[in-house]
Amino acid sequence: MLFISDWYILPLAFLLDFLLGDPVWLPHPVRWMGKAIEKLEPVMREKIKNTQLAGTCFAIILIVATYAAASIIIYVTSFIHPVMGAVVEIAMVYTCISAFSLRKAALDVHRALNRDGIDSARKKLALIVGRDVDRLDRQGVLRALIETVSENLVDGVISPLFWAGIGGAPLAMAYKMVNTLDSMVGYKNETYMDFGMTAARIDDLANYIPARMSVPIVACAAFFMKAPWKRGLEIGFRDGMNHSSPNSGYPEAAFSGVFGVRLGGPSYYKGLLVGKPFIGETFGPVGDDVSVKACRLMIVSSALSVFMAMTLAHIVSFIS
C-alpha cells in the first residue's frame, strides 16, 4: 500500500482547492471516471446476465483499476524524480476534495435567492441537489442548501482526506471512484436496484467512519467560530440516524445543532414524495443568514479535516 509520502502533501492539496476550486477548463479525473462508468456498464450487463453479479463485478473492476492506475502513475513519476512524484500526489488529492467549489455553488444559490428571486435560486440549487426543486419555497431552498453543504462536507472533503491519510493518493482516488459510482448507479429504481446495489453498499461502508467523525469535527469548528458547539455535538449523535441514508444524517444533524435549525422532512424526488424524518425537530426554520454561516462552518471543518488526515497519516506511517 502507498502512504502519504510527506507531511506537506495534504495541506498543499487543500491550498490548491482554495486557489483553483474546480475550473471547467482543467481536466478532472472524476469526469474520466464518469466516462469509464458509462462505457463499462453496457459491456458488463451484456457479458454477465445476472444483474446483481454484473453490478458487483462492474464496481470492483472500476475501483481496483482506479487504485492500480493511480499507484502506477505515482510510482513511475517518483522513480523519474521524487519532486515529480510529490507534485502528482498533490494534484491527485486536490482533485478528490471540493470544499471551495461547494462553497461557491452554495453562495451562488444564496445570492440568486436574494438578488434574482426564487426561480433563479431553484435553477442553481438543482445543480447541486438530487431532489426536485420546482416545488420548493424560499424556506425549502434554504433548508436544501444547508443539507447539501453538510452532506458534501463528508463526500467532498472528510472522506477523501480520511482515505488519503490511510492509503495515500491512490486510496483517495479509489474513494472518488466509489463516490462517483454511487452518484451514477446507486439508485433504488428499476434500472439500478440490483445493478447498483454493490456500488451503493461500498459507498455506505467507505463513508461510515468519516460521517461519524464529521460530528466532532463540525463541533470543533463551531468552537473556533464561537458557535454552540456542544449542541452540535449532542444533536449530531442524537439525530444522526434520522435519515434514509446511514451516513448523511450525521453531518446534517451536527449543522442542525450548531445553528439551531430544523432540517430533513419529506421531499420530492422525481415526482414522488419521500417521507424522511426531521432532524432537530424542535428547532425553528432556517434563517436567511444561515447559508453563509454554514459555508463558513464547512470551510473551517474542512481545514480541521486536513489536520485530522495528517495525524492519521502519521499514525499509519508509524504503525507500518
pLDDT digits (tens, 9 = 90+) for 178-209: 999 999 999 888 899 999 999 999 999 999 99
Tell me what pLDDT residue 274 has.
80
Tell me what pLDDT residue 28 has.
84
pLDDT digits (tens, 9 = 90+) for 238-268: 999 998 899 999 999 999 999 999 999 888 8
Question: Which pTM value belongs to this model?
Answer: 0.94
Tell me what pLDDT residue 3 has.
63
* 165 Cα distance to chain centroid: 16
Type of residue found at 147: E
- Per the document, the length of the chain is 320
Tell me what pLDDT residue 130 has.
85
- Three-state SS at 239: coil
Distance of alpha carbon 312 from alpha carbon 307, whole angstroms: 8
Residue segments in the chain with a per-residue pLDDT below the cut of 70: 1-5
Distance of alpha carbon 129 from alpha carbon 137, whole angstroms: 15
Q: Give the CA diameter of the chain.
A: 59
C-alpha cell at 264: 430533513
Tell me what pLDDT residue 317 has.
83
Tell me what pLDDT residue 4 has.
65
Tell me what pLDDT residue 2 has.
58
Distance of alpha carbon 73 from alpha carbon 79, whole angstroms: 10
Q: 286: closest CA among 147, 151, 114, 152?
A: 147
Report DSSP state, residue 270: T
